[in-house]
């Protein structure tokens, strides 16, 4: 199985972190008792700017979850179509050539799901196998590639696409002034990415997926996720996330590589979800990585923030286009997310 192509796509609105922080102060108004706290929190997330689904004034007038979710569908279809079309172009495939579609998101819901609506918009094959997946959050970019790889392992002559769509700005909560929500409002952005995964019988180049590993950490449900009410999605984000990563990720990797007859010294490339500064620092500490190992992840975080499941795919896109390892290099692609859990893929470039 190979990752033949990856492409990101974004809404048309992009704002600097300073502009967004000022807009959030206005959005929360008198509810925000100490505006300087917001400045400090947002400065610490190492984000220079983010894409938004709406112009800033659009968030002031948005009053219901239903309204936000309708915008999620509208914008998600636009940038989802763009991401898939862009990923298909360099490998010479058309939309009708796709045999399976996996769509991951945790920032909106739809029935018919986005994949069904994209069949109509893009002319996908009517017999395409649809796999909408909700709830995996940040880990879904890596887990989605793993599930697509499972599919083409069973059908080696076929091609699957993973589409990740996350419009985090549309989950904003006016009445939630918790530290977790204030941090999230400065960290998360909007975007989509598509990855094309091909079976062994397809003559298409790309990093080979040698193995995958999913690991769930029991009794960690409140580490990260959403509380869902009539007001929509309310962030659950424990300050203990970095500690969970430090406790588990090193062992996860060691066991995974050991089962493949490998060790960490055999790995020459690292593609990780952008999480946030403390998450990336925790990954570096848990895996004892040199400073430059996760530079692509740090750059992605600075440029567009954390876009949940989309982020690891954007890092992979950058590495494939601009930082491609030497042929034969073994690499790890990884992410963590609600559960709490990790997903690791062993790649051969």
Kindly tell me the burial class for residue 151, based on how many C-beta atoms sit within 10 Å of its own C-beta (0-12, 13-18, 19 or more). Answer: buried
> What's 325's DSSP letter?
P
> What's 293's DSSP letter?
G
> What's 326's DSSP letter?
P
Q: How far apart are CA 266 and CA 252, in angstroms?
A: 16
Q: How far apart are CA 283 and CA 334, in angstroms?
A: 10
Q: Which among 296, 275, 301 is positioned nearest to 286, based on CA atoms?
A: 275
Instruction: Give the CA distances from residue 12 to residues 54, 79, 160, 313, in Å, rounded to whole numbers and listed in that order.
Output: 8, 10, 27, 19
Contact 80, 116 (CB under 8 A): no
Q: Which of 138, 168, 300, 341 is catalytic?
A: 138
Backbone φ, ψ for residue 271 (5° rounding): -125, 110
Active site residue 138: yes
Q: How far apart are CA 21 and CA 260, in angstroms?
A: 46
Angle between helices 35-43 and 17-28 (to 10 degrees): 150
Q: Which residues are catalytic?
A: 138
């Amino acid at each position: 199985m190979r990752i033949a192509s990856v492409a990101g796509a974004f809404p048309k609105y992009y704002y600097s972190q300073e502009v967004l922080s000022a807009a959030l102060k206005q959005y929360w108004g008198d509810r925000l008792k100490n505006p300087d706290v917001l400045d400090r929190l947002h400065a610490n997330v190492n984000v220079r700017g983010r894409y938004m689904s709406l112009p800033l004034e659009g968030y002031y007038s948005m009053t219901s979850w239903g309204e936000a979710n309708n915008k999620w569908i509208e914008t998600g279809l636009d940038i989802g179509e763009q991401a898939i079309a862009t990923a298909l172009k360099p490998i010479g495939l058309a939309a009708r050539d796709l045999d399976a579609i996996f769509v991951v998101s945790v920032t909106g819901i739809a029935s018919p799901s986005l994949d069904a609506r994209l069949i109509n918009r893009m002319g996908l094959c009517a017999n395409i196998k649809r796999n909408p997946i909700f709830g995996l959050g940040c880990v879904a970019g890596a887990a989605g590639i793993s599930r697509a790889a499972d599919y083409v392992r069973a059908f080696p002559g076929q091609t699957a696409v993973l589409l990740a769509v996350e419009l985090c700005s549309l989950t904003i909560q006016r009445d939630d002034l918790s530290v977790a929500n204030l941090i999230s409002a400065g960290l998360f952005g909007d975007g989509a990415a598509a990855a094309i995964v091909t079976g062994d019988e397809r003559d298409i180049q790309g990093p080979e997926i040698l193995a995958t590993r999913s690991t769930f950490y029991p009794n960690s449900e409140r580490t990260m996720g959403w509380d869902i009410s009539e007001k929509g999605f309310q962030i659950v984000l424990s300050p203990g996330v970095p500690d969970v990563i430090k406790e588990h990720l090193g062992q996860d990797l060691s066991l995974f590589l050991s089962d493949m007859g490998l060790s960490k010294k055999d790995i020459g490339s690292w593609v990780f979800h952008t999480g946030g500064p403390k998450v990336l620092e925790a990954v570096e500490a848990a895996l004892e990585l040199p400073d430059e190992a996760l530079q692509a992840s740090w750059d992605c975080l600075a440029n567009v923030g954390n876009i949940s499941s989309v982020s690891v795919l954007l890092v992979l896109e950058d590495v494939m286009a601009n930082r491609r390892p030497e042929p034969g290099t073994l690499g790890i692609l990884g992410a963590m997310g609600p559960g709490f859990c990790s997903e690791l893929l062993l790649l051969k470039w």
